[in-house]
Amino acid sequence: MKKFRIAILPVFLLIYVLLGSFLVYADGDITSVATDGKYIYYTSYHGPYDNIYKTDMEYENFENLYSTFHESGYEYITPQIVGIKGDYIYITTPNYEFTNYGTYILNISTGDIKYLCEPAEVYIYKDYIYCLFYTGDYSGMPLRRFNLDGSGMVTISENALGQGGGPLFEDDTIIFPEAYWEHIGETTCYHSVVKCNLDGSNRKVYEIPAIEPSTQYMGATDRYAIVRTYEDQKYYMFTFEDCSIKEIFPSELEGYVWYYFAEDNGKTYYLQSNAGGDGATELLCDNKILTRVSGISIAINVVDGCFYYFDGTEEYYSILDGIKCLNLYPDKEKKSKYSEIDIVVNGVSLQFDENPYITNSTTMVPMRAIFEALGADVTYDTDTKIITAHKGTAVIKLQTGSDIVYINNVPTKLPIPVENKNGHTMIPLRFVSEALGAEVTWNGESKSVFINY
């Protein structure tokens, strides 16, 4: 039996009420769900308690990552998971009636939670989080970028709109709608579409012609934007290249409206909902439709080439039972990015072409990937098989098959010689990380290595 419910014995219920957040209640009223391909994370509420849980993919082992008692009693204000990346979960509580509303970052490894900003939609792209704030004013909302840990805020726009699925990310460009104001009889809000770099620079603004006083931005691709008029419900396509606009029929919308969904292995994935008018959802990448699925209630994530979604075509005992995984590239050899060891650098779980392994109590990792993750420049001499890494004033030299490393020309013995595995040069993780000034922590229970610099 996968799960249980505390619903039979009155004494058990009494213990639950008394202990509240100390009990791991593995099911209940699940309100949001996310996955990193290794674990499933979800939020639920039980009376006055809001909880964030973690479970393995078999739904057998449950852990309560965070629990809080909301002062308003049994009112529903459960946080929603709006993103996950590496060691961080992003949560928002979009209810202005309560004092604890806002967007928060939960550190999975430490359990620490901190306030990031006001309630926001969260989009994760290229190791940044983009937050589109809920302001209650649909004439413009702040769009801001943060580092994964919540530092380094950059304002992209003060007047972005949350219509059309939010910002669209394409390579190194963001496309999103903005509000602008004109005075025609009465002051009226119209839409423009902005293309800019990921940091908000190099802005190019396309003002969509005023078809009627009220139009709604529906979405875009990298070439078009689609708007709809409120009064007569007509659709128009605005072309960025020549700023032309023309009416199109709803049946023509297919292929013109994308919604940014996820980034995985350097690929950007988009959703197109209600494709063909039959309620199906299409997943696109590289201008190709990868799959078409009917009955999706929640599109969850793309992780290591697998599309995770909730199948809404059947009834399930729990939402967790409805989570499906679809391999998007079945003709290719699928190698999981997860090994028994999880390497986390500055909060980001790393992906390797060759999985890390432990030998003689030493964790070995691919040379180039770990050096670059630590911010070092690395070269490899194929003739001498000498690896050279530079970071600041530190220079490290290693050689395949040797257990001697030179740090600023000073020889030191490695715990394990540099090895070659399946064409990948493997080096001792802790030694080289600390040699570059990083702090290394090992969690034996989760088999995770946390590196910070």
Query: Would you state the pLDDT for residue 154?
Result: 93
Mean pLDDT of 239-256: 72
Domains by residue range for the chain, with CATH: 1-117 (2.130.10.150), 260-327 (no CATH), 342-452 (3.30.457.10)
Q: Please, which residues have CB within 8 angstroms of residue 110's CB and are 6 or more apart in sequence?
A: none
- Say if CB 375 and CB 432 are below 8 A apart: no
Model-level pTM? 0.64
Q: What is the mean pLDDT of residues 16-33?
A: 48
The answer to whether the CB of 350 falls within 8 A of the CB of 407 is no
**Contact between residue 150 and residue 114 where contact means Cβ atoms under 8 Å apart:** yes
Q: How many helices (H) and strands (E) does the chain have?
A: 3, 40
Residue-level pLDDT at 201: 92
Q: How far apart are CA 168 and CA 196, in angstroms?
A: 11
Q: Bigger pLDDT: 119 or 434?
A: 434
Average pLDDT over residues 401-425: 87
Cα separation of the two ends of the chain: 44
> Which pLDDT does position 256 carry in this prediction?
57
pLDDT at 203: 92
Q: CB-based burial of residue 406 (10 Å sphere; 0-12 exposed, 13-18 middle, 19+ buried)?
A: middle
Burial status of residue 143 (CB atoms within 10 A of its CB: 0-12, 13-18, 19 or more): buried
Residue 281 vs residue 427, higher pLDDT: 427
pLDDT of residue 184: 44
Flag the least confident range among 13-22, 213-222, 332-341, 344-353. 13-22
